[in-house]
Amino acid sequence: MAGIAVLGLLAAIAIPSYVTVLDRQKVGQAKRDLSEISMAIERYRSLQFKIPQNLGDLGPNVNLPTDPWGRAYQYLNFNSPVAGIKSKIRKDHNLHPLNTEFDLYSFGKDGDSKAPLTAKASHDDVIWARDGDFIGLAEDF
């Protein structure tokens, strides 16, 4: 009986630690993916002299992965002709845009997001901000 209690105690300690490690690994993978996608966007810019309207414009030779949680990465060209685009631009706690030309991010673990990073739904988003000078969790920005 004591052995079962010890095993239960060890599991209660080990499982949350293991989940935390897995979450950190997924965030790390998302950061690497965002960096690679941003490089593909810059290659596109160097050839086309503009940024793509959507990630599909990068072409068939660019492997666009899904984020570690199985969802597509989000991309928003600020000069897109789509109506309402300005309301979707990601903003920091001072409500200033995170980037100058486009947003690139993952919805994160919860799969939900809002334009301002101060929104609770955005805290776990993995973002590309300051035009690439910051790549990481929105709550760390």
Confidence band, pLDDT 50/70/90 cuts, at residue 10: low
Cβ-contact 52, 38 below 8 angstroms: no
For residues 17 and 98, the model is more confident at 98
Output the pLDDT for position 20. 77
Q: What is the mean pLDDT of residues 100-105?
A: 96
pLDDT range class, residue 58, cuts 50, 70, 90 = very high
- Tell which wins on pLDDT, 8 or 121: 121
pLDDT bin (cut points 50, 70, 90) of residue 68 is very high
Q: Which residue has the higher pLDDT, 93 or 70?
A: 70
The CATH architecture annotation of domain 2-140 reads 2-Layer Sandwich (3.30)
Q: How confident is the model at residue 11 (pLDDT cuts 50, 70, 90)?
A: low
Q: What's the pLDDT score for residue 100?
A: 96
- Residue owning tokens 């709550």: 139
What are the structural domain ranges in the chain? 2-140
Written as six digits, the tokens of 83 are 């109506």
In 3-138, beta strands by DSSP E? 74-77, 102-106, 126-129, 134-137
CA distance 1 to 26: 37
pLDDT of 76-93, one tens digit each? 999 988 888 888 899 988
